[in-house]
Amino acid sequence: MSGRIALRGLSSCTGEVTLPGSKSIANRALLMAALCSNSDSNSGSHSGAAPAVTQVTNLLRSDDTERMLEALTALGVRIELNANDPSQVTVHGCSGDWPYWQANPTATLELFLGNAGTAVRPLTAVLAATLPATAAVVVAGDARMHERPLAALTDTLQAGHASIKFLQQPGYPPLRLGAGLCGGSLQVDGSASSQYISALLMALPLLADDTLLELTGEVVSWPYIELTLAMLRRFGITIAQVSAHEFFIAGGQRYQSPQQYWVEGDASAASYWLAAAAISGGPLTVKGVGADSIQGDIAFADYLAQMGAEVDIQPQQIRVSRQLSEPLQALDADLNAIPDAAMTFATLALFAEGTTNIRNIANWRIKETDRLHAMATELRKVGAQVVEHADGIEITAPAQLQHAEIATYDDHRMAMCFSLLGFSASGVTILDPDCCRKTYPRYFEDFCAVTQTSSKVHRKFTE
């Protein structure tokens, strides 16, 4: 879809915002729920066990979660949608004994997963661990997904004897996956994406044998690994961290349904609202994440406080305000642990005094687009001085921001980050705002509802 939205004259952002559910948590929860067993313990007994049914609530319905729901349905998992509440689904677990291959034991199933990394990575690992010996699956996505590397994960799976054939470029989707994965001693390079590690942590407990998994390289986005471990514990899986970069994973485990799983709000999405409140003065309360969150991206609020915002973090909400007489100060930080939320600091830099330096974010380059290059390109359009490094970016705001049309590269975070320029006198036009459907379909509707303006906000969509 082509289209645009023009924002200017925004003067305040006050009140309350309730976040949509986290995409990262939602897709993990759906897959874990599908893997649940009727067994009442990891001993394997099925006597007297409660049904392996999980009600997932506050589920984000977006492009990425739709791809996971479609894939699980294709695998034969029974999923009940709530007609009155789209954010609630009921998943009937199958213990990894996929009904599709029960009916078609020698078939090859094709799964199209769009540009959903949170579906491609874990499904690839989990299917490698659960495929019947006579079955196969093709894992494919859109054109951008076929440019996003998967080698760190597939190298590990192949080292564990999984059958993998790349159908276009080695180390990238699409790929044809067969059975054969075994435990033992395995290594995974964690320097590109923590999703490869999370995928293996979800898959390896399903193997018959124990596994010692060693993480190599400088591991990025460690909080997402901790998120995965917390969710695995909730679903009855035990993983022992034996050293800083080693996990012992007992084989023969069974996922156990928690019966109900509430998906907490998207902490990455919270960053846009918290930044808007810091720019405009707020006060704004963001509900759905807080001190009790399992997402590392809530650390965004701590960095925001360093820049001069007033931040109050409660168990499930964060409140931000600022005295407008006190300017925001530029940030210089290693944001390797929170790369998604870190993007918001790149546009927030345009409202801060000094030069913002965002360091150790090389994995921006393998996201929905090359985010480092895309961000540098679009920031220069509004007059910012930008230095793009291999693994970082330096940004100095101009004396006066210029109006520009911002390309979004079919990347939801580019669109949402640049909405903050609506608080500048010159305003901004954002192309293809509909790309937010990936994680936050109603973002711009919510943004226009919560922000106030001294003059009419121009908002125009064109087909």
Which tens digit of pLDDT belongs to each residue from 243-298?
Answer: 999 999 999 999 999 999 999 999 999 999 999 999 999 999 999 999 999 999 99
Q: Between β-strands 355-359 and 332-334, what pairing exists: parallel, antiparallel or unpaired?
A: parallel
pLDDT at 454: 54
**pLDDT per position as a tens digit, 215-248:** 999 999 999 999 999 999 999 999 999 999 999 9
Average pLDDT score, the chain: 93
Indicate the burial class of 102 (C-beta count within 10 angstroms; 0-12, 13-18, 19 or more): exposed
Q: Is 194 annotated as a binding residue?
A: yes
**Does the annotation place 62 within a ligand binding site?**
no
4-19+266-453 and 23-253 in the same fold = yes
Mean pLDDT within 106-135: 97
Task: Give the pLDDT band (50/70/90) at residue 2.
Answer: low
Burial of residue 90 (number of CB atoms within 10 Å: 0-12, 13-18, 19+): middle
**pLDDT score for 463:** 29
Bridge partners of residue 250, in order along the sequence: none
Q: Is 85 annotated as a binding residue?
A: no
Residues in a beta bridge with 239: 249
Give me the pLDDT at residue 38, please: 78
Q: How many Cβ atoms sit within 10 Å of the Cβ of residue 291?
A: 12
224 near 196, Cβ under 8 Å?
no
Where do the structural domains in the chain lie, given as residue ranges? 4-19+266-453, 23-253
Other CB atoms closer than 10 Å to residue 369's CB: what's the count? 22
209 in Cβ contact with 183 (< 8 Å)? yes
* Residue-wise DSSP of 177-219: EES----EEEEEE-SS-HHHHHHHHHHGGGSSS-EEEEEES--
- Give the pLDDT band of residue 366 (cuts 50, 70, 90): confident
Please give the DSSP secondary-structure letter assigned to residue 338.
-
Catalytic residue among 340, 411, 432, 446: 340
281 a known binding residue?
no
**Mean pLDDT over residues 131-137, rounded?**
96
Q: Which of the four CATH numbers 3.40.50.300, 3.50.50.60, 3.65.10.10, 2.70.70.10 does domain 23-253 have?
A: 3.65.10.10
User: Residue 286 has what pLDDT?
Assistant: 97
Token code pair at residue 234: 């909730």
40 is catalytic: no
Please check if 325 is assigned to a binding site. no
Question: 198 a known binding residue?
Answer: no
23 annotated among ligand-binding-site residues: yes
- Residues 115, 119, 124, 130: is their CA dihedral positive or negative? negative
Given a contact cutoff of 8 angstroms between Cβ atoms, the answer to whether 134 and 100 are in contact is: no
CATH topology of domain 4-19+266-453: UDP-n-acetylglucosamine1-carboxyvinyl-transferase; Chain (3.65.10)
The arithmetic mean of pLDDT across residues 401-405, rounded, is 97
193 is in an annotated binding site: yes
Q: Average of pLDDT values for 47-57?
A: 75
- Helix residue ranges per DSSP H, 11-97: 23-34, 63-74
Residue 67 assigned ligand-binding role: no
11 is known to lie in a ligand binding site:
no
Residue spans of beta strands (DSSP E) within 400-454: 405-406, 428-431, 451-453
- Residue 424: pLDDT band (50, 70, 90) is very high
426 labelled binding-site residue = no
pLDDT tens-digit readout, 163-180: 999 999 999 999 999 999
Check pLDDT > 90 for residue 30.
yes
pLDDT at 461 over 90: no
Give the residue-averaged pLDDT of 6-25: 94
What pLDDT does 39 receive?
A: 57
pLDDT of residue 245: 95
**What distance in Å separates the CA atoms of residue 290 and residue 318, rounded to the nearest whole number?**
6
